[in-house]
Amino acid sequence: MPSSPTPSPTPGPSGVRRRSLLGAAAAAPVLASLAGAESAAAAPASAGADPAGGPRALPGGGDLGPNVIVFDPSTANIQGRLDEIFKQQESAQFGTGRYALLFKPGTYSGLNAQLGFYTSIAGLGLSPDDTTINGDVTVDAGWFDGNATQNFWRSAENLALVPVSGTNRWAVSQAAPFRRMHVRGGLNLAPDGYGWASGGYIADSRIDGTVGPYSQQQWYTRDSSVGGWLNAVWNMVFSGVEGAPAQSFPEPPYTTLETTPVSREKPFLYLDGAEYRVFLPEKRTDARGVSWGNGTPRGTSLPLTQFYVAKPADSAATLNQALEEGLHLLLTPGIYHLDRTVEVNRAGTVVLGLGYATLIPEGGVTALKVADVDGVRLAGFLVDAGPVNSATLLEVGPEGASADHSANPTTVQDVFVRIGGAGPGKATTSLVVNSRHTIVDHTWVWRADHGDGVGWETNRADYGVVVNGDDVLITGLFVEHFNKYDVQWNGERGRTVFFQNEKAYDAPDQAAIQNGSVKGYAAYKVGDDVAEHEGWGLGSYCYYNVNPSIVQHHGFAAPNRSGVRFHGLLVVSLGGNGQYECVINDTGSPTSGTDTVPSKVVQYP
């Protein structure tokens, strides 16, 4: 995400800065001192053949592995351990380190947990208030000269914070969820010095004080409570948020829905006495405010013994065996190389990743497929394309899926996709949603614009998200840099609340993006035959830095029907590197030359 000048209560530096200005630092070696980290239980037995010649049954439960670090209030030198991990991960944007920092219920004082790449911090209580840190969970951008536009892949969940200064700093961009948090103070979403930032996402959280976005270009907040909201830059979207600003798009650019149509919070690991369990929050309709209220959330839970606790050395065959035996999957932190597709065929299956567990498909396979069944929950992992082109990376439901899942939908939450950046990667289509009623709640699907293995054909990826299923809802949709359509929506009655997009930077010329007679592929395309669709708070930006003369006709394309409706649309040309002629179809003013000023459409049609 490049950045732009922004009206802000606190002035920041001027000029357009880009993610690609600086490379990513190489990962430091894995900390040898973490090899003896605390774990949950005894290690499970290895998979293998039993005396009868068949596969040995896989155990449930077991050790959470060396990169899950579990603290309790009596743990010595917690700050030292946090600092050690941060030093390794601070600038390791495309490194191999993956960590989950888990805090048992209780009170911790004097901590500042700085989070680097691929680091998740979470409390192990049933409610955020069960685990209180008198201190901070901090994301800043010192590693990138005060520019937070590359602060990706980190998360905070299920904690109460009492910030030392009264305000906690969370200066992030994409793929950095702030979920199920209680901040007993304010929240600052900008880096020190108020440099650029392009996040972000908050859900199921209570911020007692004011949220200050400052330089954040766009943000989505869902089913939460805030004590106030300071400002807006381009695109601030709220659904089901107590204390949110009133609807006022285009100026200030607040898009506010009183409720979220359907939501079901992300599964999470917690402690019930000495036993680890995974809580499965219930579905809510027309939700508003946090799900955990003043205490226990509503839902069900599963013991860890019903999960296969996977390790990065596990093969796809082992993961599939665990699923076939009726186990759920808990993916411990690390990188999983898959020579075949992981097949989720059982209704109600949970696949939960810790610490940005990463799936890399090899030989052009699809990383993971879900059958057309009820209630699957995918959460908390990264899919990273392999060097051999995959037709798809993640499929929710097979082609032609048609079963009604309205009572118990599949949810995809904090599941992120990357093509290139950490090395060569290719995929024709990244995420395909075929099952009806699926809820995709916060995803960043990214064809890399910087790092290794990056180029117009080097990390070729034509389509980001393709939705074929009917009645699909996406809350918090971030999709960037694809060679053709970033989002193509063919299903009926689809809904999107918040969309953030950048067109690919690296198109070599106008011909490379030509779509028949149309100049460029829309960022968000609704199929020509779709009768009903609705979207709220959608933005697309262009930054054609290889060839600034490129013209993009529009950011959004949709059939002209009364049942296809959009609210709060904008397009931006960043510093005049490329231009939009319209916002949606042939409607909306062109972007304004070299001035980074959005062109907006309040309602369409």
Q: Torsion angle of alpha carbons 457, 462, 464, 469, nearest 10°?
A: -160
What three-state secondary structure class fits 33? Answer: helix
The rounded distance, in Å, linking the Cα atoms of 174 and 464 is 15
The rounded distance, in Å, linking the Cα atoms of 3 and 26 is 24
Confirm if 452 and 94 have CB atoms less than 8 A apart: yes
Residue with tokens 């290895």: 46
Q: Which two tokens stand for residue 1?
A: 């995400």
Give Cα separations from 13 to 20, 154, 189, 191, 342 (angstroms). 18, 25, 16, 12, 47
Residue (of 159, 105, 171) closest to 135 by Cα position? 159
The rounded distance, in Å, linking the Cα atoms of 591 and 570 is 10
* 90 carries an active-site annotation: no
What three-state secondary structure class fits 32? Answer: helix
The rounded distance, in Å, linking the Cα atoms of 208 and 234 is 24
3-state helix, strand, coil in the chain (%, to 5): 5, 40, 50
How far the first Cα of the chain sits from its last, in Å, is 29
Residue with tokens 């999107």: 496
The rounded distance, in Å, linking the Cα atoms of 1 and 5 is 13
Residues across the chain: 605
Question: For the CA atoms of the chain, what is the radius of gyration?
Answer: 22
- Maximum distance among all alpha carbons in the chain? 73
The rounded distance, in Å, linking the Cα atoms of 212 and 165 is 14
Report the 10 Å Cβ neighbour count for 211. Answer: 29
Give Cα separations from 561 to 314, 529, 565, 605 (angstroms). 50, 10, 8, 8
Per-position DSSP letters for 296-355, written without gaps between them: PPSEEEEEGGGEEEE-TT--HHHHHHHHHTT-EEEE-SSEEEESS-EEE-STT-EEEEEE
Angle value at C-alpha 178, between 40 and 289, nearest 5 degrees:
110
Q: Cα dihedral sign for 249, 153, 437, 265?
A: negative
The rounded distance, in Å, linking the Cα atoms of 100 and 334 is 10
Quote the DSSP letter at residue 129: G
Angle value at C-alpha 554, between 549 and 558, nearest 5 degrees:
160
502, 532, 534, 581: the catalytic one is 502
Residue 518: CA atoms inside 13 Å, Cβ hemisphere, count?
A: 19
The rounded distance, in Å, linking the Cα atoms of 227 and 242 is 8
The rounded distance, in Å, linking the Cα atoms of 396 and 472 is 11
Q: Which two tokens stand for residue 117?
A: 């790449």
Catalytic residues: 502
